[in-house]
Amino acid sequence: MKLNLIQENIKTDIEIIIIKDKKITSNKKTLHQLNFTGEDETCALLLEAKKLYIGCENNDEDSIRVAVSVAIRKLNETNFLNISIDAKEDLRAIIEGLELGNYTFDKYKSKKKKTKEKTINIVVSKLNKETINIFQDAINISNSVNLTRNFVNTTPEDFYPNIMAKEAKKIAKENGLECKIYGEDYLASNGMHTMNAVGRASRHESKLIHLTYKPTKKAVKKIVLVGKGLTYDSGGLSLKPADFMVTMKSDKSGGSAVLGIMNTIAKLNLPIEVHGIVGAVENMIGGDAYKPDDVLYAKNGKTIEIRNTDAEGRLVLADCLCYAQDEIKDIDYIFDYATLTGASVVGVGHYTTSIMGNNNHLNYSMVQAALDSGELATSLPFNRYLRKTIKSKIADICNISSTRYGGAITAGMFLDEFISEENKNKWVHCDIAGPAYVEEQWGYNPYGASGAGVRFTIQFMKNLLKEK
């Protein structure tokens, strides 16, 4: 798909018409006969008029993204190659709707659908620098979301820790980032025993990935992003049931989101220093697997009683969070991303990210950034009573709670144990277990990976700069 910005309408094979608030102003009789009323996610193709009408009941950006994604999917079923759409308003939403809605993952299809490239002519009121920047930013962000989707959708046989590290190196090379990759010898010699334990039964060596972006101008903020990169999670010796093991290629969604964000940062040229840290690990079974009843030592010296080896992501994040705070000084914000708990999905549904931390104002700022970008998020509160449920009788802390309730929150509280006092109010935990991978199409998201976390983090950074 090729996108062109143009200032005047030109003759094309078909024109996309977005019907907002159900206000139909042309071809009323024909559309009535087709029972098209302008409801969300509905469309009507009028061949003689050379128009594709798309319903958009609300006038917000995300509804427009969804509407445009419906349009491009419908047009992909046709042979129309030259298409136009009026984007004198809502340019960013239209670009993102086209790019995100057009995504397909056919890597493993033996017979791929052959289609000719479509050209989308996007009509804008002015072709000035501001318009071009909005256009390019929307494309860059969408491309990184789609890159993240590709990483998550790729099977564990083809995407293991070393491959994740290679992809990080590729992103670094293309974007002029600093890249450090560490293996298991580094983990062992630097006290990262919890991350090392999770991956030691795998035939694939665990990798600690650290990407750094430093702006050409003086950075106004320093942000650290930490991602859970479980390239596959069998549950370890606390083996998952067969049905729950399917889709566990998606357990790398947090780490993949961090890579996607880092792929965008340099292109946006934001005056923010950003560090992306990923714990790339495979949790498998074998004679060398870590076990329930083990006590592990984290990088900050805290001891962890293991009662379930399927609560492994928090162990990887614990060491990665400690590494980040040891290696990077004067942090302004530290965010982690993880498909951490099924409890988050039970609590807030498949489509919403759970946001947690000690600073309510920061939590709400992240939720607002998500809503501004079109992602769904909500804040879950910490409380003193749930904190007691992760205490251990034999170690400092237990890797699972003593109660089945509030599991998303207790997992967040576990991570809080590895945030230093000086960073307590700078940290946010993002549990993306719900939206990261859904086995159905929703909105402009395809079956499978959505790229959750990329857009709302970029939006948070943009919002941050607006405050200055």
Residue 213 Cα to chain centre, angstroms: 19
Structure tokens at 360: 């309510």
Nearest in space to 208 (alpha carbons), one of 216, 217, 221, 199 = 199
The amino acid present at 205, given as its one-letter code, is: E
Helix (H, G, I), strand (E, B) or coil at 401: coil
Query: Would residue 111 show up in a list of annotated catalytic residues for this protein?
Result: no
Task: Determine how many CB atoms are found less than 10 A away from the CB of residue 34.
Answer: 15
DSSP alpha helix (H) spans, 269-348: 313-327, 342-348
Residue from 20, 65, 314, 426 carrying the catalytic annotation: 314
Q: Please answer whether residues 139 and 101 qualify as being in contact, where contact means their C-beta atoms are separated by less than 8 angstroms.
A: no
Residue from 73, 180, 240, 462 carrying the catalytic annotation: 240
Q: What is the DSSP letter of 390?
A: G
Residue 313 Cα to chain centre, angstroms: 16
As a whole number of angstroms, the distance between CA 113 and CA 116 comes to 10
The CA-to-CA distance between both ends of the chain, in Å, stands at 37
Q: Please answer whether residues 68 and 93 qualify as being in contact, where contact means their C-beta atoms are separated by less than 8 angstroms.
A: yes
Q: Please answer whether residues 369 and 458 qualify as being in contact, where contact means their C-beta atoms are separated by less than 8 angstroms.
A: no
Q: 336: alpha, beta or left, given left = phi > 0 and alpha = psi -120 to 50?
A: beta
Query: Would residue 314 show up in a list of annotated catalytic residues for this protein?
Result: yes
Structure tokens at 397: 């802390």
Per-residue exposure over 395-415, b if at least 16 CB sit within 10 Å of its own CB, e if not: bbbbbbbeeeebbbbbbbbbb
Task: Determine how many CB atoms are found less than 10 A away from the CB of residue 445.
Answer: 24
Q: Please answer whether residues 121 and 4 qualify as being in contact, where contact means their C-beta atoms are separated by less than 8 angstroms.
A: yes
As a whole number of angstroms, the distance between CA 331 and CA 426 comes to 8
Radius of gyration of the chain (CA): 23
Q: Looking at the annotation, which residues are catalytic? A: 240, 314
